[in-house]
Structure 1
Amino acid sequence: MTAEVGFDEQALAARAGAAIRAIREKRQLSMREVAARAGISQPFLSQIERGQSMPSMITVYRLAQTLDVTPGELLPTSTESKVTVVRGDEGRLLPVADRADAALGRVLVFNPDEKLQIIEYKIERDQYIGEWFQSPGLLAVYVVSGLLDIEIEGAGDYRIGTGDLISHPAPLRHRWLLVDNRPAHVLMVITE
């Protein structure tokens, strides 16, 4: 009798390879250098990083020692805990300003550990959105529908419409304005 394993081995190998490659690149080490220090061939390390081969435990320990990390940092964890679903009627509401007529954003993702925020705004007529904002990192605004004028202090004024995306360093002060007071549906993404 054979027990079924609940793992997608190909996906597991791909995630392990990606983790090893990311740490190697962060350490600014060449593939050849890491392979030599770990006592494996460079073509084998290439296969591991591309997810075509899964390293043995001995190889994981050698790579971990070479990269100055724990072996666990090279092995992927379950992806189940990394999956988040936010339904259309869920998400914390976040006003753009401390005013009664301020537009409300719906926080879809706010993860300080990964430094990622995604906020959805459904801006109705006469709702206030003209507050100046700035934050660390990079900001991107995607217009699902409608038109926005975006003022970026020192960088200019931009009109973006349905299907358009604008991104800029988030420390630049910026604000949005509805065009002709028509509603807009917008996604804002901030990464640090």
Structure 2
Amino acid sequence: MSQPIDDETELAVAIGAAVRTRREVAGMSMRSLAASAGISQPFLSHVERGLSMPSMVTIYRLAAVLEVGPGELMPNPLDSQSRVVIVRAGSGNPVPVSSRSDAAIGRALLFDRDSSLEVTEYRLEPDVHISEWFQSNGLAAVYLISGALEVEIDGEGSWQLEAGDFIRHDAALLHRWLLVGNKPAHALLILNHTVQPSS
């Protein structure tokens, strides 16, 4: 069974290679992809060469332009053919929420090209940045393990979650998280890119 990529440099190289391959398959220039994804061409060049680690926001934007699932731009951390998958505490691929230096770092528990299901664990501290707006296809769900978290969904409202609370919504709606108070929170984000929300 393959092992999770724990080294951030190795992870950046793997993501960069996947982005470059998908871009070439799509017949897109680096300039065109960068413009469509709302990032600079020099930054995209750094990503493709494994010199910069793209944030979750950037991965989702690139995947949307390339018309692939975000998991197709991530290395396969697990042997998805196995009938049993286990990710030990402290392992999993680290992925920053945004490109800011104070961005929260998520731990991808399941985020691979062979699965439409993504599961990311977040341990959120008051001094980390988490309030990026996200958008994807399929369904999104949050289970709050501890602390308090506000989930804001553009055009729908905002909901405060306490430990044990669960929220599910259409991932295509712009959404973001905000910490409540000055206490840390521990959350699981679950995304399913193949399930279409009911109208």
Fold conserved (TM > 0.5)?
yes
The alignment covers a number of residue pairs equal to: 114
Q: How do 1:86-165 residues align onto structure 2 when only pairs under 5 Å count? A: 86-165=87-166
- Give the secondary structure class of the aligned counterpart of 1:176: strand
Q: How do 1:17-96 residues align onto structure 2 when only pairs under 5 Å count? A: 81-96=82-97
1:81, distance to aligned residue in structure 2 (A): 1.8
Distance across 2 between alignment mates of 1:118 and 1:81: 17
Q: Which amino acid aligns with 1:107?
A: A
Partner of 2:171: 170
Distance across 2 between alignment mates of 1:105 and 1:173: 19
- Give the secondary structure class of the aligned counterpart of 1:111: coil
Distance across 2 between alignment mates of 1:126 and 1:80: 39
Distance across 1 between alignment mates of 2:168 and 2:113: 20
1:113, distance to aligned residue in structure 2 (A): 2.6
1:80, distance to aligned residue in structure 2 (A): 7.8
State the Cα deviation string for residues 18-55 of structure 1 (Å, max 9, x = none): xxxxxxxxxxxxxxxxxxxxxxxxxxxxxxxxxxxxxx
Q: Which amino acid aligns with 1:169?
A: D
Partner of 1:180: 181
Distance across 2 between alignment mates of 1:141 and 1:122: 13
Distance across 2 between alignment mates of 1:150 and 1:81: 34
Q: Which amino acid aligns with 1:179?
A: V
1:182, distance to aligned residue in structure 2 (A): 1.3
Q: Which amino acid aligns with 1:171?
A: A
Distance across 1 between alignment mates of 2:129 and 2:182: 10
- Give the secondary structure class of the aligned counterpart of 1:136: coil
Structure whose CA Rg is larger? 1
Q: 1:80 to 1:135 in 2, by over 3 A?
A: closer
Distance across 2 between alignment mates of 1:92 and 1:80: 19
TM-score, normalised to structure 2's length?
0.55
Give the ranges of 4+ consecutive aligned residues of structure 1 lying more than 3 Å apart after TM superposition. Answer: none
1:129, distance to aligned residue in structure 2 (A): 0.3
1:126, distance to aligned residue in structure 2 (A): 1.2
Q: Which amino acid aligns with 1:174?
A: H
Distance across 2 between alignment mates of 1:91 and 1:179: 27
- Give the secondary structure class of the aligned counterpart of 2:103: coil
State the Cα deviation string for residues 124-143 of structure 1 (Å, max 9, x = none): 12110000001111000000
